[in-house]
Amino acid sequence: MIKTVTLNPSLDYIVNVPNFKASAINRSNEERFLPGGKGINVSQVLTNLGLPNIALGVVGGFTGDYLVKLLKGKKINEDLIFQEDVLTRVNVKIRSNSETAINGQGPDISEDTKNKLLNQIKSLNKGDYLVLAGKIPPSMPSNFYLEIMKSIKNKDIEVVVDAEKEQLKTSLSYRPFLIKPNEEELGSVFDVEINSNSDVIHYAKELQKLGARNVLVSLGEKGAILITEGNKVYFGNSPKGELINSVGAGDSMVAGFLYGYLKENSFEEALKYGLSCGAASASSEELATKDDVMKLIKNITIKTLEE
């Protein structure tokens, strides 16, 4: 079983506004709500691929009710904790000649809710996968991912971490199965600028020294590099397509990687599915479907860079 954790889920309010102008009244010509949050995105793509999973996290208020309704409509299995005194945040995405995003801070999560979530996670069994994705809300300890990993340290659970800088670094001592920074996030961990594939490989291996077992670095339209715990280094291209929506592409890559790895027991196939899912989401209004993934995957080539 795969469980994803989204500590700060959202309703994403997508608004198309022709010729958007600041400091003026603008009128939309299209608008819709989508479920948001990195772990929820992973769950949605896994569901689209037909891989069973459960989305965990915290919601509240009428926005939380509507988020759950959207998930049920997409047939995403969830076991979200409802906290009565908070509102699930709304993220506003304004699409015009360019895209502008306004992301909410998120709720104050209570100690009782935090403990309920930890108890849900402790129910995982040997061989299960746990995906910890996205930022930790300001109301929670910044090392909460580490606290989660400590709670299951003796259960042989495979943990995937997709987080930024300090939240990523603090998780590494518990040897997560996979981490997935992008180039910018990789550089920020070490306060350096990443300028080449050689830089990517060097600093990804530094993350392995800190405890990460497998490091998947997304390079946007250039593709991705995977450094495995067996010291294999793979590069895969990103299939070409029109960029329509960058939101969720990285989360889709995580979902595709897990799907490929569990389906084929191969890091090369995992990378191939990860790249295909990321590209399928980037070139769609919503997240990757299996049909789109299978159309794109034939255009991906995996190369060994070094051993």
pLDDT score at 29:
94
pLDDT score at 142:
85
Q: How confident is the model at residue 247 (pLDDT cuts 50, 70, 90)?
A: confident
Q: By 3-state DSSP, what share of the chain in percent is helix, strand and coil, each rounded to 5?
A: 40, 25, 40
Cα–Cα dist 174/145, whole Å: 10
> Which are the catalytic amino acids?
251
Instruction: Spell out where 76-189 has E strands.
Output: 81-82, 89-95, 99-102, 129-133, 158-162, 178-179
Task: Specify whether the CB–CB gap between 224 and 274 falls below 8 A.
Answer: yes
Q: Which fold has domain 2-306?
A: UDP-N-acetylmuramoyl-L-alanine:D-glutamate ligase (3.40.1190)
Residue-wise pLDDT tens digits, 270-287:
999 999 999 999 888 889
Strands 302-306 and 224-227: unpaired
pLDDT at 307 exceeding the cut of 70: no
* Radius of gyration of the CA atoms of the chain, in A: 19
> What's the one-letter identity of residue 273?
Y
Cα–Cα dist 128/130, whole Å: 7
pLDDT at 93 exceeding the cut of 70: yes
Helices (H) and strands (E) in the chain, counts: 10, 14
Q: How confident is the model at residue 137 (pLDDT cuts 50, 70, 90)?
A: confident
Q: What residue spans of the chain are helical by DSSP H?
A: 38-49, 61-73, 111-122, 144-151, 165-169, 183-190, 197-210, 249-264, 267-282, 290-297
Cα–Cα dist 5/133, whole Å: 6
Q: Where are the domains of the chain?
A: 2-306
Q: How confident is the model at residue 208 (pLDDT cuts 50, 70, 90)?
A: very high
What's the average model confidence in pLDDT over 231-242?
87
Residue-wise pLDDT tens digits, 256-269:
999 999 999 999 99
What's the average model confidence in pLDDT over 235-243?
82
Q: How confident is the model at residue 153 (pLDDT cuts 50, 70, 90)?
A: confident
Q: How confident is the model at residue 27 (pLDDT cuts 50, 70, 90)?
A: very high
**What's the chain's length in residues?**
307
pLDDT score at 245:
74
Share of the chain above pLDDT 90, in %: 79
pLDDT score at 15:
94
pLDDT at 306 exceeding the cut of 80: no
pLDDT score at 282:
87
Residue-wise pLDDT tens digits, 37-51:
999 999 999 999 999
User: CB-based contacts of 307: which residues, under 8 Å, 6+ apart?
Assistant: 231, 232, 233
- The whole-chain average pLDDT of the chain stands at 92
| 153 token code pair | 């340290």
pLDDT score at 135:
87
Task: Specify whether the CB–CB gap between 220 and 275 falls below 8 A.
Answer: no
